Structure 1
Amino acid sequence: MSQQKQFHHAKALGAMRYVYQRVVGKPLLVHFVMADADKGQRNAVEEVFAEDCLL
């Protein structure tokens, strides 16, 4: 079940990142993440933002 959640969270975060860049003109950079016990949410954040952000 967590993998299904991760997929949906990753899609939503990816869309948010895309819209932010189109509106602001700069990439969305994440410096801090506050997460709960749900691994799917945390994994989705890492999947979308880890390549160019400090997590």
Structure 2
Amino acid sequence: MDLPSDPGHALTIYNAMPGSASADALRLLSAWAASRAVASPVEPGSNAQSQ
């Protein structure tokens, strides 16, 4: 799916039958992606922006 507000970018969606090996593989893939997206904790009151 093309994204009109972001030329050159596209959204890809994958789907699998529940309970299938493909569904298990997509679940594993999504877990890997989610674990990479977790941000590092920031101490309260610290300046998280680079200067």
Q: TM-score range by the shorter chain?
A: 0.3 to 0.5
After TM superposition, the score normalised by the length of structure 2 is 0.38
After TM superposition, the score normalised by the length of structure 1 is 0.36
> Larger RCO: Structure 1 or Structure 2 (Cα < 8 Å, ≥ 6 residues apart)?
1
